[in-house]
Amino acid sequence: MIEGFEVLIVDDDASIRKRCVQLLNKKGYDVEGVSSGNAALPIVKNRQTPLVITDIRMAGINGIELLEKIRSESPETEVVMITGYGTVESAVKAIKLGAYDYLTKPFDMDKLLKVVENVATKFSLREENRQLRKKLDDYAEIGDIVSASSAMHDLFKLIDKVAPIDCNVLVEGESGTGKNLIAKQIHKKSPRAGKSFIIVDCASLSETLLESELFGYVKGAFTGAYTDKDGYFKVAHRGTILLDEIGELSPALQGKLLRIAQDHEIIPVGSTRPIPIDARILAATNKDLEALVREGKFREDLYFRLNVVKISVPPLRNRREDIPLLTHYFLDKFKKKYQKDKLVLNARIIASLNAYDWPGNVRELENLVQQLVIVADNGIIDPEAIPAVLKNVMAGNTADGPGKDDGILYDMNFQDARKICLDNFSRNYCIRSLRTNRGNVSATARDMNIRRSSLQRLMKRLGIRGSDIISDE
């Protein structure tokens, strides 16, 4: 149940209308009842009421006509139809016209409460998603790199400074942090942007094969070399070449790469004739090249040739403020890809994502969001869909067992523990706000952005007394 969620009951049967209003008011919803569609329309239009529950058969504007007008004037408003026996066909028609659900008279009040709770939850999630998307629009973004962290903003500024200058750049960072995206942005913002951008994975090819792929070969250089073949450096002429996982290069290839970095020329396998090459070299690694130099596993002279400018990409665990933004960025991306435009994310998932250390960094987060979108049902990505490792984080499990000192009651089931925590928060929040406004309920309600009647019901349910407001904390 969402405290203060607004519901409008439209029914010309006064007894049904009164029962619905009383029940939902008792549960903390902000409910109003009217007897006709004509009375309902201005309320919906002026307040953008999130939920309307309306009878189908009414004098004047009937329920179907009211639904059509609401869909036109307040498209985000959800409409639930009340239908009597023999008008179920009308209810089905209403569903096709965009109604959220329908209730058949005489309906079970528990069913009514469940429907209202589902709509209220949907609106709460929609608003949370909207706010996060709004924040997403306000933060820096280059390519597929989105960030709110100061460290990444400084990195973006460094890219803008380095890209136009034709120097070699070393990009360091853990696997999955987006080093290739950084390199791609350097190329796109450089004068070479209209030319080739070639990526070479130094870890995926054997030394012999990598040499011929990098420098090319001439006819007859080895068995099977029936024609000349250009290497990656020749293809990248006047463009940019990214040597990914440069730390995996053998000492022999490091020496040949040094010749290119110093003299800007290559010698294809099987040839003795050097070929001039004009290619900007970007190198990426998830290893500590300085440590490899000290251990004698990487040439110091090559290291300094490549490391004219170093860009270090921080891991995701060191910029947790980016997790919600990246989550919704990838959510929007995969919603479009899999045609699930109305999908929303349960806010409880964000809390667990923030608590996780992300050893696979941004790539791991992207893969998870893609998986969640693919398996999602009923328009909501539910916490039950997340992998076990994240469920353990959300439940507070660590290597030492469940946490006990963070205010969560782990010996209870989730719903009961959540209710206790939420009630404690609500009570403390209300008391603080009431003290700030010296007990003035109307002023407190305005500050809390809820109706005065909703605040009064909340105070009554939480047992807030005058002595709580005037006493010291």
- pLDDT for res 424: 66
CB burial of 375-406 (b: ≥16 within 10 Å; e: otherwise) equals ebeeebbebebbeeebeebbeeeeeeeeeeee
Per-10-residue mean pLDDT for the chain, 473 residues long? 79 90 89 92 89 90 90 89 73 83 83 89 76 54 70 90 96 94 94 94 86 91 89 94 94 91 92 93 95 95 96 93 86 89 77 84 93 82 75 51 37 52 73 83 84 83 69 44
Contact indicator for 99, 79 with CB cutoff of 8 Å: yes
For residue range 333-348, list pLDDT tens digits in order: 899 899 888 787 776 7
Neighbours of 7 (CB within 10 A): 24
Contact indicator for 344, 129 with CB cutoff of 8 Å: yes
Contact indicator for 256, 316 with CB cutoff of 8 Å: no
Q: Report the top-level CATH class of 318-394.
A: mainly alpha
CATH of domain 153-314: 3.40.50.300
Query: Whole-model pTM?
Result: 0.57
Residue 246 is classified by DSSP as G
- pLDDT for res 3: 59
Alpha carbons 69 and 407: distance in angstroms, whole number: 47
For residue 270, is it left (φ>0), alpha (ψ between -120 and 50) or beta? left
Alpha carbons 388 and 101: distance in angstroms, whole number: 33
Query: One-letter amino acid identity for 43?
Result: I
- pLDDT for res 209: 87
Fold of 6-133: Rossmann fold (3.40.50)
